[in-house]
């Protein structure tokens, strides 16, 4: 890639090799059995992938958000479930502790999270609250030196693996009066260790895509945790998480770009070797033009997420760029997976085929980390449009 430093290119190539030799061979069976391979997760930890954007003094690799995105893109080429496991582990599990945790919370949690020895989830989404976080119904009441939490969450990634250590939960902790006199919910984030009495991790979902990713509903029934488990300032829970959401859109854009690239690679190789009426199907102009369009989508998507990630690492505003990157790259993943499936024909409908799994998996890219409609809303607002 033309804009990468030698170190960044080396990282991308290294993760691509790991993806091709370790991740890809187990992907179909993991998808078929809805099983996240903890062996693969452990090897990712040994490679340092979970610590890419964190300082070396914390056990990380001393990299940046660009480095994390490169690793996610490389993995997503062959397995979206593994790629989202890394993205959620870093962006939703570790980053909130790194950014908003107390010294004690960092010392307790970061060493294992950064090394990949432990995972954590972030409990934001509810049945009526996702994009509209103000609709959160989960509550946390401070009783003495304990928070008492009641409510439920859904679609929480990395919440039920054998090495999941905790889930950070958004909850209503009171009310606030705005300057105009109106009242709003006070939202805070609280760390809830797995195994806490009253905290139940429900059975994993039977999903149409990302079937090897660990995703569960959560319920909280008079769950008691120490008051010291408050993460960040009380009442700033969602505000603090907004940056994480914006950064997460860049990570999803990197993942989607990897998907678009993987579909392009598969379609190009197949079109060159699949013969129909005595000639490779790549010799037909329609197939050639379809693959050319796929290449253009990959190129555009990669430019978009690279630009957004560079802005993050330079300390520049990036909200609009993150939304645009997520929008164009998720579209590219959907379109490229559809086109690749069409090029493969009947074989593209078989789950053994990578393009078939990409076709199923890619729809969530237009939904998760803020729907594409939300991205349009963000872009419009950044342009001064209400």
Q: Which residues are catalytically annotated?
A: 369
Closest alpha carbon to 53 in 8, 23, 119: 8
Specify the DSSP element, H or E, that contains 147.
strand 146-157
Is-contact 198 218, C-beta < 8 A?
no
Instruction: Enter the tokens of residue 31.
Output: 């998808």
Closest alpha carbon to 220 in 314, 322, 326, 123: 123
The angle at the Cα of 120, spanning 114 to 123, to the nearest 5 degrees, equals: 145
DSSP states along 171-209: EEEEEEE-TTS-EEEEEEEEEEETT-TTEEEPPPP--SS
Whole-number Å distance between alpha carbons of 256 and 87? 12
Is-contact 371 330, C-beta < 8 A?
no
Specify the DSSP element, H or E, that contains 317.
none
Is-contact 72 64, C-beta < 8 A?
no
Is-contact 114 120, C-beta < 8 A?
no
DSSP states along 31-75: HHHT---HHHHHHHHHHTGGGTTS-GGGTS----HHHHHHHHHHH
> Which residues, other chains included, contact 284 with Cβ-Cβ below 8 Å and sequence gap of 6+?
none
Is-contact 132 184, C-beta < 8 A?
no
Burial of 273 per CB tally in 10 Å (0-12, 13-18, 19+): exposed
> Which residues, other chains included, contact 246 with Cβ-Cβ below 8 Å and sequence gap of 6+?
318, 319, 322, 323
The DSSP output letter for 252 is H
């Amino acid at each position: 890639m033309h804009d990468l430093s030698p170190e960044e290119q080396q990282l991308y190539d290294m993760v691509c090799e790991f993806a091709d030799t370790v991740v890809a061979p187990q992907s179909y069976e993991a998808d078929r059995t809805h099983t996240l391979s903890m062996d693969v997760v452990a090897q990712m930890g040994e490679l340092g992938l979970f610590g890419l954007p964190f300082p070396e003094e914390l056990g990380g690799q001393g990299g940046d958000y660009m480095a994390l995105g490169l690793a996610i893109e490389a993995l997503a080429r062959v397995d979206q479930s593994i790629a989202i496991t890394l993205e959620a582990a870093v962006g939703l599990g570790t980053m909130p502790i790194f950014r908003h945790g107390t010294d004690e919370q960092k010392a307790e949690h970061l060493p294992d999270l950064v090394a990949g020895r432990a995972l954590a989830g972030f409990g934001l989404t509810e049945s009526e609250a996702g994009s509209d976080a103000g609709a959160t119904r989960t509550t946390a009441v401070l009783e003495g030196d304990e928070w008492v939490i009641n409510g439920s969450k859904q679609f929480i990634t990395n919440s039920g693996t054998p090495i999941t250590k905790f889930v950070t939960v958004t909850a209503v902790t009171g009310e606030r009066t705005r300057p105009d006199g109106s009242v709003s919910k006070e939202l805070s984030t609280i760390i809830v260790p797995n195994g806490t009495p009253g905290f139940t991790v429900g059975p994993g979902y039977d999903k149409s895509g990302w079937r090897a990713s660990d995703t569960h509903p959560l319920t909280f029934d008079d769950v008691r945790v120490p008051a010291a488990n408050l993460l960040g300032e009380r009442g700033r829970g969602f505000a603090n998480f907004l940056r994480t959401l914006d950064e997460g859109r860049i990570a999803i854009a990197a993942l989607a770009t990897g998907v678009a690239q993987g579909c392009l690679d598969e379609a190009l190789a197949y079109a060159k070797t699949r013969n129909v009426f005595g000639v490779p199907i790549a010799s037909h102009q329609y197939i050639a033009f379809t693959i050319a369009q796929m290449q253009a989508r990959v190129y555009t998507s990669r430019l978009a997420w690279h630009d957004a990630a560079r802005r993050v690492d330079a300390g520049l505003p990036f909200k609009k760029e993150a939304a645009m990157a997520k929008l164009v790259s998720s579209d590219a993943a959907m379109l490229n997976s559809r086109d690749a499936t069409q090029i493969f024909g009947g074989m593209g409908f078989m789950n053994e085929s990578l393009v078939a799994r990409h076709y199923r998996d890619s729809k969530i890219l237009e939904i998760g980390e803020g729907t594409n409609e939300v991205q349009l809303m963000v872009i419009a607002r950044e342009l001064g449009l209400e």
